Structure 1
């Protein structure tokens, strides 16, 4: 699935830099559009110097009416709007790139404009027409936002239409960080003890008193004679061997879940009353006709 992400910039340079970064990560260039306030014409009062002005430039972008007014005002003030149509897998990275290049916080900007006296209506946007006070009847109703005036009864005006509008809920998806697991290995030391049995050999000099006759073998005792004995003792020899005794790993399982998204959508209904008091209401669900009195508009 794809979704459209819109950002506003104070300068055209920032917007083009963000676009270049988006294209560099694999987003098709045709999916990234830039609309600059310096290119779509300037506005003076309620009339624009180009047909449609900033408001007309936004007619191809699907967005709520209040957002359309807000972005049109931003373009009127010299800003630059960037809109990217991206796959769900690129959405999170796209948000990051747009913020890295200085996208405007539209909530804060709107609050600032309203303090300056902005009413929430973009300059150049169509407004509902008011019929002259002397007009007592019209050939039909006009859609809200139409710039045409109602003609007196009896004037040939052709066929007029009021669009029946219905909002539809578009649900997209994006990956968000819901937590992180980190496994780290590090070395620690601890004291260990082992018992070992060691063998020692010691040398002792013994003296004893002897009183016996000298034998022929003892005659050699008057010659020099040396007896040696060496003491021996064992020492503990320590060596260490590293062995793998276990493993700790990270495994990521992918599952699917169904989540119900609830929101409100709007639609318009059209009510027609003729001079006999009959009422006809037309909406997105169909047409009903009755004799109930006409409700005030």
Structure 2
């Protein structure tokens, strides 16, 4: 299965750097697309992009990416402010690698950037609004639809394909002209569910050295030499005659000193291990379809829709 990840960069150099790293990681360059934003503008400049005027063609350039409406408004605003958008199509086995590269190359955290834009007066996407209202130019009614980035090196999102809404056909009844053919289109909505990658938090390991005082007791032995004098008074014997010869005796003092040495031992290992699990989530929504009812004066009522055609006789 192939997924598409989209990221926004403040400048083209970071986007080009991400492109180089993606190609080095084995992503074909043909699977990577860069969309350059407005020249001479910056991502921090204020102003609201009106997609109804489509200055610069940003809204149209994102049409074939099948982005959700709220993301399309956000990326259009980022391009209008001078950013560069990068999209990558990759297999599921490469998606994690792609997301890591985008985070490491200064991809914009779309949540934080949208919050900053709103403080400047940008209201973001509003469900149910049309034209400049939905793009943030005029406050509109309806439920507000938020969007999140990857980002985190947030800002990256993966999307599938998304269907457009149903176009209603209205008008007053009138007689068909002879030889002419008038039609009422039968339209149905299809629900397409995509996926996006979001950050849930980081775990970082950092090693550093600390010093702890240590006390150890050791018993040391000391030797001391003393000169003893003892007065005696006895006659000299024949054996004592040899005492008049020269004689030397000596004794050496010895003491024990503490000798300190240290050795380092590995006592524990701390590492990071990342597991991935999958779960199935059921998405519940409603889709619309149109049906055409044909009545004629012969008493037949024909109902035609995407589910087939039925005819009732009156």
TM-score (norm 1): 0.59
The CA deviation string for residues 105-148 of structure 1, in whole angstroms up to 9 with x for no partner, is 3862641899xx9422799xxxxxxxxxxxxxxxxxxx6278x9
Describe the shift of the 1:269–1:235 C-alpha distance in structure 2 as closer, same or farther (beyond 3 A).
same
The CA deviation string for residues 192-238 of structure 1, in whole angstroms up to 9 with x for no partner, is 01224x363533433334243x55676787x6967554352333352
Distance 1:63 1:98 in 2: 18
Question: Contact 1:15 / 1:80 at 8 angstroms: preserved in 2?
Answer: yes
CA shift at 1:81, angstroms?
Answer: 6.0
Match of 1:238 among 223, 242, 259: 259
Residue in 2 that maps onto 1:259: 279
Question: Contact 2:14 / 2:106 at 8 angstroms: preserved in 1?
Answer: yes
Match of 1:248 among 251, 262, 268: 268
Report 1:8-19 matches (<5 A): 14-19=10-15
Residue in 2 that maps onto 1:161: 185
Counterpart check, 1:33 vs 2:34: yes
Question: Contact 1:271 / 1:280 at 8 angstroms: preserved in 2?
Answer: yes
CA shift at 1:287, angstroms?
Answer: 4.2
Describe the shift of the 1:110–1:279 C-alpha distance in structure 2 as closer, same or farther (beyond 3 A).
farther
Which of the two has higher C-alpha Rg? 1
- The secondary structure found in structure 2 opposite 1:207 is coil
What are the ranges of 5 or more consecutive residues in structure 1 without an aligned counterpart? 124-142, 292-297
- The secondary structure found in structure 2 opposite 1:32 is strand
Question: Contact 2:51 / 2:135 at 8 angstroms: preserved in 1?
Answer: no
Distance 2:253 2:76 in 1: 99
Residue in 2 that maps onto 1:59: 63
- The secondary structure found in structure 2 opposite 1:269 is coil
TM-score (norm 2): 0.56
Distance 1:44 1:240 in 2: 74
Distance 1:173 1:93 in 2: 13
Counterpart check, 1:20 vs 2:16: yes
Residue in 1 that maps onto 2:6: 5
Residue in 1 that maps onto 2:87: 84
Counterpart check, 1:207 vs 2:230: yes
Residue in 2 that maps onto 1:119: 133
Superposition CA RMSD, Å: 4.9
- The secondary structure found in structure 1 opposite 2:15 is helix
Question: Contact 2:12 / 2:84 at 8 angstroms: preserved in 1?
Answer: no
Distance 2:73 2:188 in 1: 21
- The secondary structure found in structure 2 opposite 1:99 is coil
Match of 1:105 among 92, 114, 125: 114
Question: Contact 1:34 / 1:82 at 8 angstroms: preserved in 2?
Answer: yes
Describe the shift of the 1:169–1:111 C-alpha distance in structure 2 as closer, same or farther (beyond 3 A).
same
Distance 1:118 1:35 in 2: 22
- The secondary structure found in structure 2 opposite 1:17 is helix
Distance 2:53 2:132 in 1: 17
